[in-house]
Amino acid sequence: MLSMLMKYSQEKHCCPHCSQDLSLCHAPPVHVGDGLGWGSEYLFICLNDSCPMFVKGWDFIADQYGRVGSYRYMELPNSKEQFSMMVITKDAFTGSIVDLEAIKRQDERYQRQQEAIAALDTCVAKKDPAPVLTILLDDSVRIDERKRAIPMLTAINDTCCIEPLRNHVFKDPHLQHEVNLALGQILACHYLKECPHCSELIKARAIVCKHCQREVTAD
Ligand SMILES: [Zn+2]
Ligand SMILES: [Zn+2]
C-alpha cells in the first residue's frame, strides 16, 4: 500500500478550472449498488474553495435539481480523465486527505515489528533483549508473537528489561501476568527485589532500602 501511495504522491495532478494542485484523498466508501465506485481507493480532488467549478456548482445544482450541492473536480491515479464529483457540503473530502507522513510512520512501525519478530530466533543466543522489548512494548504486535517473546525474557535474564516493562500497561491481563512472572524470575536470579516504596532495585536480603532509606522486609 505504501509503495503505491508514494508513487501516487509523486503524480502531478492539476485542476484545469483553477490551476491548483489536486489533493490525494481516500475514496469515499460507496455501495456497489450505487454504481458510484471509482475502481480506485484513492482520488485526486480539487479542494480549492475558490475553484470556479466549485463556486458555480452551487447555483447550477440548485437550478437544475433544486438541491443543495456543488461539484469538485476529480481525477483518478494514473489517469488524466476528467470527472466532476458532486458534494453536498464544503467540507466533504477535507477529512479524507491522505496523510502520507502518518502512513509512513505506520509503515516504519510495522517494519520495526517485523525485524524484531525475525530477530526473536537469535536474540537468546546473542543475549540481546532489544527485540523482545520491542515486541512486548508494542500493543499492536500480534498476541501470539508477544507470548512467544516472554520466555525469552527469562532466558536472556537482563535486569534492564524490568523498568520499561514495569512502566508499560498491558491491555491483555494474561500477558501482563506472564510478564510479571518473568520479571519476578529475573529478579530472583539476580538476588534482587524492588523496593515497595521507591521501586528501585535492591538486594533481596536488604531490610533497609539503600535508595529511600525506608524499611523493607527481607525475602
Ligand atoms: Zn479547481
Ligand atoms: Zn526504596
**In the chain, domain spans:** 2-96, 119-203
pLDDT average, residue stretch 69-97: 91
Ligand number, closest to the Cα atom of 195: 2
Task: Say what the pLDDT of residue 2 is.
Answer: 75
pLDDT average, residue stretch 165-183: 96
Q: What pLDDT digit, counting tens, does each position of 119-170 carry?
A: 999 999 999 999 999 999 999 999 999 999 999 999 999 999 999 999 999 9
Query: How far apart are the CA of 51 and the centre of ligand 1, in A?
Result: 4
Ligand number, closest to the Cα atom of 201: 2
Helices 173-189, 143-156: inter-axial angle, 10-degree rounding: 10
pLDDT class of 30 with cuts at 50, 70, 90: low
How far is 201 from 52, CA to CA, in rounded Å? 69
pLDDT average, residue stretch 183-190: 97
Amino acid identity for residue 15 in this structure:
C
Query: Which range, of 37-41, 50-54, 77-81, 151-155, averages the lowest pLDDT?
Result: 37-41
Task: Say what the pLDDT of residue 125 is.
Answer: 96
Ligand number, closest to the Cα atom of 202: 2
How far is 177 from 61, CA to CA, in rounded Å? 62
Query: How far apart are the CA of 47 and the centre of ligand 1, in A?
Result: 7
Query: How far apart are the CA of 91 and the centre of ligand 2, in A?
Result: 56
pTM of the full structure: 0.69
How far is 63 from 81, CA to CA, in rounded Å? 27
Query: How far apart are the CA of 217 and the centre of ligand 2, in A?
Result: 12
Query: How far apart are the CA of 55 and the centre of ligand 1, in A?
Result: 10
Q: Is the pLDDT of residue 194 over 90?
A: yes
Q: Is the pLDDT of residue 34 over 60?
A: no
Task: Say what the pLDDT of residue 10 is.
Answer: 85
Query: How far apart are the CA of 77 and the centre of ligand 2, in A?
Result: 61
Query: How far apart are the CA of 54 and the centre of ligand 1, in A?
Result: 7
Ligand number, closest to the Cα atom of 75: 1
Higher-confidence residue of 2 and 155: namely 155
Cα–Cα separations (whole angstroms), residue 22 to 25, 37, 93, 94, 101: 9, 20, 12, 12, 18
